[in-house]
Structure 1
Amino acid sequence: MANHNRDDRHEPKLTREEYAHLWKDSRLSIPPLIRIPAATLAAFSVGMTLGLAHGSKMAGLRFRAEHAHRLPTTTTGWYLYHKSKNYHLAFGGLKEGVKIGARLSVLSTAIFCAENLFDVYRGTKDLFSTIMASLAVAGGFSVLNRFSAAETARTAKKGLIFGIAYGAAQDVVSLAKGRHVGYVEFIRRHIGKATQLEEKAT
C-alpha cells in the first residue's frame, strides 16, 4: 500500500512529443529551467571578467599611490615590491570580479524569472513581458539602493532599453523558428480582416 502511494505521488513523465514541444515553444528554444540558470552563469562570467579587469587596474593604481613615497632601493626590495603589487592586483581583481559578477547574476536571475512569470500570466511570449520584467527589476533595484528620482529615472530608462532590445531579439528568433508572437499575430489578424473587408467592398 505504501509503495502504491509513493508511486501515485510521482509526477508523470513527459512524452517525447511533449518534450520536443516544450523545447520548441520556449524562448530561444530553451526551457526556463535551463535558460534561467544558464543566463545567471553567463551574467556572472561577464561580471567576473569585467570586475577582474577593473578591480586589478584600480588596485594597481592604489598600490602605486600608497607606496610612491617609499620606493625600494635594492634588488631584493624591488622584487618584494612587485611580488606584493601582484598580490594586491590579483586580490583586488578577484574581489571586484566576484562583486560585479554576483550583482549581475542576481539582476539577470530576477529579470528572467520575472519575464517567465509575465509569460505565464499573459499566456504569450513576446517583448512586452521582457519590457515589464526589466522595468519591474529596475524599479526594485532603485528602491533597494534608495536612488533619487533622477537616478531612478535613468535606471528605468536603461531597463526599458534592455527590455526592448532583448525582447525584440527574442521575438525575431521566435519568428525565425516558426513560433507565434502575440502582437505579431494580433497585427496579422487585423490586417487579414481589413483585407477581407476591402475585398467584399470591391
Structure 2
Amino acid sequence: MPRPPSTSSPDPPPAEYPLPFLTDPTATTPAPTTTLPYRLNLHPISRLTIANIFAFAAVFIPTTIRTAHISSLIYRAENAHRLPETKGDWYHYHRAKNHYAASRGLAEGFRKAGGVCGYVSLFLVVEGGVDAWKGGVDFVGTVVAGGVTGGVFSVLRKLPLPTKALVVKKGLWYGFVYGVAQDVMLAMRGERVFWIDPFVRRGREIAMRGKEARSGAVGATGSAGAGDSADR
C-alpha cells in the first residue's frame, strides 16, 4: 500500500533566510556591500558634527570676548564727552554699554564661527567625496580637500593672485600632513593603506628572517651539544 503523503508543514526557514525569495522566485541574492574604513574611527556624520562643534566653540568664545571688550572701549570713547552725573544716569550708562558690547560681540562671534564651520564642513565633505570616488581612504582625499578649501577661501575673500597661490599651497601642505597622520592611525588599526603596505611587508620579512636565523642558530647549538655528549 503506498504511503500517504505527509501533511505536516515543512520546516520554517532560518532567521537569516532572505525574505524576498519567499515571494519572488526570480530574485537574486544582493551583492555584498563594501564600506570604507572610518577616518579617526568615527562615522562621517559623527566626525562632521564633532568637528563643527569644536570649530564653533574655538572661534565663537574668543571672538565674542574680544569683540565685546573692544566694543565696550569704543562705547566709552564715543560717550566720553557726556558722562552721566547721577547714580541713575550711571546705571543706564553701564546698562547701555553692556548691551552694546554684548550685541556686537555675539554678532561677530556667530559670524566668524559660522564661516569657520562652513569651511570645516566643506573640507570634510570634499575629503569624503574623494574617498568615495577613489574607493579607498588615504591622504589623497585630504590633500584635495585642503587645496579646495584654500581656493574657496581665497576666492570668497577676494585675495590677490599671489596670496591665493600661497593660501592654496598651505592648504595642500596642511592637508598632506593631516592625511598622513590619519593614514598612520588607519594602519595602526589594521587597515590597509597603499603607501604603508610595502613598509609593513618589508618589516614582516625582516622579522621572519631574523626569527628563522635565531631558530637555526639554536638548532645548530643543540645538535653540537648532542654530538659532544655522544662522543663522551
Q: TM-score, normalised by structure 2?
A: 0.65
- State the distance in 2 between where 1:123 and 1:102 align: 31
Please point out which of 109, 116, 124 is paired with 1:112: 124
Task: Show structure 2 runs of 5+ residues with no match.
Answer: 1-19, 21-32, 207-232
Equivalent position of 1:198 in the other structure: none
Matched-pair contact (CA < 8 Å) for 2:187–2:196 = no
Aligned to 2:110: 98
The 10-residue stretch of structure 1 (106-115 or 159-168) with the greater mean CA deviation from structure 2: 159-168
* % identity of equivalent residues: 32
The total of aligned residue pairs comes to 175
Give the conservation status (yes or no) of the 8 Å contact 1:134–1:163.
yes
Task: Provide the secondary structure at the position in 2 that maps to 1:69.
Answer: helix
Q: What per-residue deviation string (whole Å, max 9, x for no partner) do you get for residues 25-76 of structure 1?
A: 2001112132223322332222221321222122122212211222222222
> Equivalent residue for 1:60?
72
Aligned counterparts of 1:95 and 1:89: Cα–Cα separation in 2: 10
What RMSD over aligned residues (CA atoms) do the two structures have, in Å? 2.8
TM-score for the superposition, normalised by structure 1 = 0.74
Q: Distance in 2 between matches of 1:134 and 1:183?
A: 20
Residue 133 of structure 1: how far off its partner (Å):
0.5
Return 29-38 or 152-161, whichever deviates more: 152-161
The equivalent of 2:25 in structure 1 is none
One-letter amino acid of the counterpart of residue 62, structure 1: I
Greater relative contact order (CA < 8 Å, ≥ 6 in sequence)? 1
Q: Does 1:82 align with 2:88?
A: no
- Pick closer, same or farther for the CA change 1:102–1:126 going to 2, 3 Å: same
Structure 2 match to 1:174: 186
Q: Which runs of 5+ in 1 are unaligned?
A: 5-17, 196-202
- SS of residue matched to 1:114: helix
2 CA distance for matches of 1:120 and 1:154? 28
- Matching of residue 151 in structure 1 with residue 163 in structure 2: yes
Greater C-alpha Rg = 2
The Cα of 1:181 is off from its aligned counterpart by: 2.3
Higher helix share: 1
Contact kept in structure 2, 1:48 and 1:100, CA below 8 Å: yes
Contact 1:124 1:182 in 2 (8 A): no
Residue aligning to 1:10: none
